[in-house]
Structure 1
Amino acid sequence: MASVKLATLVIRTLAKPISARIKHQAEQHDSFKQICITWAQWAHRTEVGLRINLLGESAKHIKPLSETRAIQNGANGLAEAFLFTVGASLILAEAWRSNRSQARRRDSVDDQLEDLQNEVRDLKSRIEAMSTGWEQKLEEESSRNNELSRILTRVVEIGLRGGWAEVVDQAPLKIPASVVKHADLPDPRTNNGDDGSTNET
């Protein structure tokens, strides 16, 4: 950025002596003189014609400029045209550079937004998968808890009504393997048999 501004300043500084040199050459060379005279006479006629039309003056013969005045005006016009061209070129170059920089910045922002959108979609898919897994686990745990609650309720009811006698007469309750992992509940029928043998001895 600083180098661009420095280059612009250098070009503007060099444009002034170059413009003065063009003006001097236009006054010295015959080819430049003819160009200056032609351009100055055309500009003079155009200016006078516009003034007559705008101010409503009566049409009259337009007196041409003298050769010396035409050369001077033409040289000044060439010098000013050169300065204008340089200034306009610098403005256009700066506008093009600014637009290019903004386009690059927009492309970079678009790429970053696209990457973020992809990451968000990936995270959403992962969250959905995790949510589905947790829902399945919660359903399994809820089913296990319900089964355990049913078994405990049955055991309590039997105990309150008459002890383990009804359990002996009926088929033993089936406890899920997920509830009892390391040890099984004792079978009441086995305990009664052991007690009988002990009493006999």
Structure 2
Amino acid sequence: MILPVFKLGTLALKTLCKPIGNRIKKEAGLHPRFRQSIINIAQANHRLTTTLQRRIYGHATDVAIRPLNEEKAVQAAADLLGELFVFTVAGVAVVFEVQRSSRSEARKEELRKQELEVMRQRDEELAREVEQLKHRLTELEQLTKERGLSGVFNFRHSKATDNKTKDTHSS
């Protein structure tokens, strides 16, 4: 029951993140300080991606990289920040799901350990009972050897007659 609700909540969170990302893009274009910061981020990102692409394709990397114009830089940085926000939320959701699953597995493992402990205790009790039965069997075997088979079966009867004869002789 909890897993489907959690997955639905995660999906709703991801869906809500997209408008928040778009809001970040919009605000990035309006505030001058924020705008300059994201332009710098966009220019650094542009230089990095261009250099990486040139290295991948085997082109010269010591060539000057032309900076983006201001509007393209704002748009690129706003897109970058919006996507970064969405991926961050998705990453946090994945980490949370992994932790939840890990806790669930830990609870299951603890239950398994408890069950094994109960089974071990029961096994020890059974082993003690087997030892007691072996001891009783040994006693019965000794009685059988001493009195013979008929003496074991008449053990109580012979004790009772022994007691009666002792009573009659002492009177």
SS of 1:23's equivalent in the other structure is: helix
Question: How far did 1:40 drift?
Answer: 0.7
Q: Which moved more, 1:46-55 or 1:22-31?
A: 46-55
CA 1:142–1:42 in 2, change beyond 3 Å: closer, same or farther?
A: same
> Is the deviation greater in 98-107 or in 72-81?
98-107
Match of 1:19 in 2: 21
Match of 1:104 in 2: 107
Separation of aligned partners in 2, 1:63 and 1:51: 14
State the AA in 1 paired with 2:132.
A
Cα distance change, pair 147–78 in 1 and its aligned pair in 2 (3 A) = closer
Q: Number of paired residues?
A: 156
CA RMSD of aligned residues (A): 2.3
Report the CA distance between 1:7 and its aligned residue. 1.8
Query: Cα deviation per residue 1:58-117 (whole Å; 9 max; x = unaligned)?
Result: 432211100000000000000000011001001111011111111111111011101110
In 1, Cα distance between equivalents of 2:127 and 2:27: 75
Alpha-carbon distance between aligned partners in 2 of 1:102 and 1:147, rounded to the nearest angstrom: 62
Change (3 A) 1:180 1:92: closer
Structure 1 unpaired stretches of 5+: 149-176, 185-201
Identity across the alignment (%): 31
Retained in 2: the 8 A contact 1:144–1:178? no
Name whichever structure is richer in helix by fraction. Answer: 2
| Structure 2: 5+ residue stretches without partners | 152-156, 166-171
| Matching residue of 1:10 | 12
Give the Å deviation of 1:145.
2.0
The 1:109/1:140 distance shift into structure 2, 3 A limit, reads same
Quick check: 2-11 or 52-61, which moved more? 52-61
1:123: which partner in 2? Answer: 126
- Indicate whether 1:143 and 2:123 are aligned: no
- The DSSP-based 3-state class of the residue aligned with 2:66 is coil
Tell me the residue number matched to 1:33: 35
Shift of 1:178: 2.2
Greater relative contact order: 1 or 2 (C-alpha under 8 angstroms, separation 6 or more)?
2
Measure how far apart 1:32 and its partner are.
Answer: 2.3
CA contact (8 A) 1:19 1:83 kept: yes
Q: Distance in 2 between matches of 1:86 and 1:15?
A: 7
Number of the residue aligned with 2:154: none
Q: Which residue of 1 aligns with 2:94?
A: 91
Partner-residue secondary structure (3-state), 1:178: helix
Higher-Rg member (1/2):
1
Distance 1:121 1:86 in 2: 52
